Structure 1
Amino acid sequence: MGSSDRQERVRARELGLPLGRYRPGPHNAITDVEGVLVGHATIVRGSGRLVPGRGPVRTGVTAILPAGGGVFDERVVGGGFVLNGAGELSGLTQLMEWGLIETPILLTNTLSVGAVSDAVVNWLVERHPGIGAEHDVLIPLVGECDDSWLNDVAGRHVRQEHVFEALRSAKGGPVAEGNVGGGTGMITCDLKGGIGTASRKLPEKQGGYTLGVLVMSNFGRLADLRVAGLPIGEHLARKLRGMAVRRSLYGSIIAVVATDAPLQTHQISRLCKRVALGIGRVGSYAAHGSGEIVIGFSTANRVPRRSRKMVYRIKVLLDTRMDPLYQAVMECTEEAILNALCMATGMEGANGNFSPALPLDEVRDYAALLRKPILRPTPRDEE
């Protein structure tokens, strides 16, 4: 696997994989939804034997700003779905009750949820001093996965400065993937995983909407990995027999869905359910110890925090027009997970544990099996 880790990393689409019928947006990222920003803070420090509180450190934090820096004043409509609850996304309970997102969304490791939440509160209070007096208190949205196979998770090395760095660096355009931000120490199907993203642009006849997904991917066993429907994981598991792997399915995945389609909360939650189908395409069966948690939002309607009006008006897509979005979100999720695998590089962490990179040459060989026209999906732009 050493040679594969030295390969130039490219995204899944560049390997010739058939990754769905809809075309991606210009950056093939969640930031293709106008107004959505993403930033990372990555912490890599030390090597060798694990000394709790000292390292090695392989972790970080990723920030998703749903409406730039203005989501507190101009809230967006949101929803969510929990496929398997062996994980946490703080603030999800209130989101499901109110159907509104009013804070950035942060992704990090399990034991840093509290520190990240506290830092986001500080960041927001600096900008909105009326929180807790003029305005209601708030509950930041912070999702987690367990990176303890590579990281000194008990050391809780994510600090306020890292959260502020992720928030300050959030921008549109291309998104860094793999071993970055909250995904720094994450593993997918026994290979190095982490942050991945993808997007789809629907044809005008289907609304012309843009949809994007960002994942922090940290689930599964190698033998279960599927790439474009092919069981490449079984092949790799035989080839890499004897590779040291983590012994419990403590993994998980957090997925964030964004769209400019005008959706209500129940529609966003229905959309989030279909993310689970995309996760399943890559080989997950939502194991007992794995948490599959999805949060989503629409940027089409903004709900002002301050208003003298009694009623606000929103546009809403008909439920019967949701099917293209369902297919798009499934495609995005699959590709986002594969992008996390393709862009991640092999990493050594605590106690010398090593998570190898997905060998891209092997994937290219598998992709060649799918290049016959009879097996290639037809893009739907002409439909």
Structure 2
Amino acid sequence: MADHPDVDVHALLAHTCPAGATDSITDVDGVEVGQTTVTDGREIHSGVTAVVPRQLDESRKSLPCNVFVGNGHGKLIGATQISELGDLETPIVLTSTLSAFRAADALVTWMLRRPGHEATISLNPVVGECNDGWLSDIRTRPVREEHVLAALDNATGSRPEEGAVGAGTGMRALGFKGGIGTASRAGGDHVVGVLVQTNFSGTLTIRGRAIEPPAAAEQSDHLEAQGNSCMIVVATDAPVDARQLGRMARRAVYAMGRLGADYRHGSGDYAIAFSSAEPTAAPPDPTLDALFTATIEATEAAILHSLLQARTTTGRAGRTAYGLTAADLAASPASAGPRSNPGRTRRGW
């Protein structure tokens, strides 16, 4: 956890939707998260994060799902079938770019071992990635099958750890150390939970105020150090259909811009949204505004959480990604104050 005093992210970002009980994606019923960190503390900083909807079981082989691609310079394995059919058949695994293909194979192995898949001959594994090669020796492809299986097997409904953990271990974003972040917001009678893997470029901006990273001028490869991609997973218990989930996924990618994303040529900006609700009639489109707002706010908060919880990390070739601190936010237009979300009790918020 980042070393900083209490920061009320909800107030800092002037959000209007209440946060969920744990302010995380696991506030959505049945959604669990597992992570495996792979690091030697020097040249290797990588890992796996798995989002596991427990509704995918023997009785229910798929969930409504859709994807939105803000900029497609990346890999989201399984995306074309989701776009075509609107179904999620497996958990969602996030990892490093060159480990994505091994992770997909491991995910298939895990699924084929599950009850109800004894006769399965086709699966659509869903794996997203960001490039951790600035801090980690990505060519060694350090993420192995056992790391992926461990993340899937150990997934729980507890609040996930954030920052430099799992698939976020080697990430950097907006000039700071990035990583895994999560948040949730109420959208009317339903919950929207978001988990992000932040690794994208731009200038961190809080309600119009730019926040420059430390020692930026001293890094000759500062632009590369900013990062270049973002994976966003959106979950909801609202009974929305695949088309409507596509609309929610768009809002998640749009939310990156509120914090200063510049959507560069080399950025892979993806959102994948699914519903854990029991099948029923989808709500009318004019009633979706509360879910749209909740998606935007949860994504914005998850991104900021990923930065605030990421420790300064020195990795490959002595490169350093600096963690965002309270001092960096001190002159922000909204200061830390009494928590607007009493349900969140972890240190650091």
Alpha carbons 1:71, 1:101 under 8 Å: kept: no
Contact 2:33 2:157 in 1 (8 A): yes
**Distance (Å, rounded) in 2 between the aligned partners of 1:285 and 1:257:** 21
| Cα distance in 1 between the residues matched to 2:26 and 2:45 | 25
Match of 2:300 in 1: 334
Q: Deviations over 1:165-194 (max 9, x none)?
A: 111111113110000110100001121000
In 2, Cα distance between equivalents of 1:171 and 1:368: 34
Query: Do the aligned partners of 2:209 and 2:333 also contact (CA within 8 Å) in 1?
Result: no
Note the C-alpha offset of 1:72. Answer: 8.2
Aligned-partner SS, 2:277 = strand
Stretches of 4+ aligned residues off by more than 3 angstroms = 8-12, 71-74, 128-131, 243-250, 367-371
Task: Determine the C-alpha separation between the residues in 1 that align with 2:253 and 2:235.
Answer: 15
Aligned counterpart, 1:135: 120
**Which amino acid in 2 is paired with 1:41?**
T
- Whether 1:169 and 2:135 are equivalent positions in the alignment is no
Contact persistence 1:119–1:160 (CA under 8 A): yes
For 1:301, the equivalent position in structure 2 comes to 278
Amino acid at match of 1:83: G
CA distance in 1, matches of 2:283, 2:185: 17
Q: 1:35 aligned to 2:12?
A: no
Query: 2:59 and 2:96 mapped to 1: Cα distance?
Result: 24
RMSD: 2.3
Counterpart of 1:309? none
Query: Shift in Å at residue 12 of structure 1?
Result: 5.4
Q: Provide closer, same or farther for how the CA distance between residues 359 and 245 of structure 1 changes in structure 2, counting only shifts above 3 A.
A: farther
Letter in 2 for 1:119: A
1:148 aligned residue (133, 138, 145): 133
**Shift, 1:109, TM fit:** 0.5
Counterpart position of 2:346: none
| Distance of aligned partners of 1:264 and 1:366 in 2 relative to their CA distance in 1, 3 Å threshold | same
Q: Residue 13 of structure 1: which of 9, 12, 25 is its match?
A: 9
Flag the structure with larger Rg.
Answer: 1
Give the number of aligned pairs: 337
- TM-score of the two chains, using structure 2 as the length reference: 0.90
Q: Secondary structure at the match of 1:139?
A: coil
Matched with 1:50 is: none
CA 1:129 to 1:262, structure 2 compared with 1: closer, same or farther past 3 Å? closer
Distance 1:284 1:260, change over 3 A: same
Q: Relative to structure 2, which stretch is displaced further, 337-346 or 322-331?
A: 322-331
Counterparts of 1:172 and 1:187, CA distance in 2: 26
Distance 1:318 1:160, change over 3 A: same
Cα 1:72–1:175 change in 2 (3 A) is farther
Structure-2 separation of matches of 1:64 and 1:279: 20
Q: Which residue of 2 aligns with 1:324?
A: 290
The structure with the greater share of residues assigned to helix is 1
Task: Work out the CA distance in 2 between the residues paired with 1:129 and 1:369.
Answer: 52
1 CA distance for matches of 2:160 and 2:58?
A: 20
| Correspondence 1:252 to 2:252 | no
Deviation at 1:66, TM superposition (A): 2.0
Q: CA contact under 8 A between 1:9 and 1:342: conserved in structure 2?
A: no
Does 2:44 match 1:57?
A: yes
Distance change >3 Å, CA 140–CA 108, structure 1 → 2:
same
Query: Which of 357, 360, 366 is matched with 2:326 structurally?
Result: 360
Alignment check: 8 A CA contact 1:109 1:144 kept: yes
Amino acid at match of 1:299: S
SS of 2:205 mapped into structure 1: coil
1:281 matches 2:258: yes
**Compared with structure 1, are the counterparts of its residues 347 and 46 closer, same or farther at alpha carbon in structure 2 (3 Å cutoff)?**
closer
Aligned twin of 2:195: 214
Deviation track 1:111-151 (CA, whole Å, cap 9, x = no partner) reads: 001110111111111225746xx334112100000000001
Structure-1-length-normalised TM-score: 0.82
Identity %: 37
| 1:230 corresponding residue in structure 2 | 209
Query: Structure 1 stretches of 5 or more lacking a match?
Result: 48-55, 303-313, 372-376, 378-383
Q: Distance between the aligned counterparts of 2:65 and 2:2, measured in 1?
A: 41
Shift of 1:327: 1.1
Give the Å deviation of 1:195.
0.3
Does structure 2 conserve the Cα–Cα contact (< 8 Å) formed by 1:76 and 1:301?
Answer: no
